[in-house]
Structure 1
Amino acid sequence: MKTIIGTLVVAFFLSISNSFAGDKLYKNVIEDKEKRTVTTTVCKGENDMNLVPLTECVLQYNADGSLKERISYKWESRKKVWVAYQKYMYEYDKGSLKAISYVEWNKSTKAWGNDIQYVMHVYESKTDLLTVASSSQK
């Protein structure tokens, strides 16, 4: 059984490495201080002239520099557009992280879904994390 699992794992990693054979991953980071955003785009290609977009992540910060929102996009090669697929929102209380909520993009309604996942951070004091609890809201 261990041999079969080991063989499957090795085959999986070889298939991944072969699918990117000759391709390198490139990352471009653009910071917009006025909008308080950092956009990271990842592309693949044989050289820096023939790049194919893969993913994009946009981080939005609050005025105090704390992370407010993270939206991830996938490249839709047929339509040549970025398509949102997940969003994380961060809430703070007196400088400490209070909650993280997560929602996925609904392709059919072309809006963020109604099934919001929450992770709450409960602190005993300003710096002592007491517990982390998760919940779902529909």
Structure 2
Amino acid sequence: MKTIFFSIILAVLFSVTNLYAGEPEPKVFTNVEPTEWGTLKEYTYFDNSGLQAVKKEVCSYDKSDKLFNKTIYRWDSDFGWINFQQYTYEYNNNGLVAKIVRADWNKKSKSWSANVKEFIHTYNSAGELVAIK
């Protein structure tokens, strides 16, 4: 009886261990810099080894801690940080996100694309998000 109980405990222990033995989370390093207009937060993501940079997000917040701009960069071992996407955030009178504008980096023109994608946020009277168009 003790052998069966011990075997069951070991089986459960190994199955739980296998659940967490999958792909480890990438490492993220954060830098927060207060500025005269708000806060600049930089998040640098590394691969699972922690040795190779993968992407970087630079987020700009105003003095009321509302995100108003996020730029995403991809790491290129030959060229360093390459622009990838830029998000601009607009808020309504209630302080809720009204619109997010995404621009992709155009490699040929080496500028942000004029062909942007807009995400309009719609809220009900209780201030709950009901749609993103």
Q: How many matched pairs?
A: 109
Deviations 1:68-121 (A, max 9, x none): 111110011012x20011111110011121101111001111110011111111
Q: What are the residue-to-residue correspondences of 1:1-138 with 2, within 5 Å? A: 25-34=26-35, 36-44=39-47, 46=49, 51-79=51-79, 81-94=80-93, 95-125=95-125, 127-133=127-133
Structure 1 outlier segments of 4+, above 4 Å: none
Is there any run of 5+ residues in structure 2 with no aligned partner, and where? 1-21
Greater C-alpha Rg? 2
Change (3 A) 1:24 1:91: closer
What is the alpha-carbon root mean square deviation over aligned residues?
Answer: 2.4
C-alpha distance in structure 2 between counterparts of 1:70 and 1:27, whole Å: 16
**TM-score, normalized by length of structure 1?**
0.68
Question: Which residue does the alignment assign to 1:5?
Answer: none
Distance 2:25 2:96 in 1: 39
Is there any run of 5+ residues in structure 1 with no aligned partner, and where? Answer: 1-16, 134-138
The share of aligned pairs that are identical, in percent, is: 23
TM-score scaled by length of structure 2 = 0.71
CA shift for structure 1 position 130: 4.7
- d(CA) in 1 for partners of 2:48, 2:132: 41
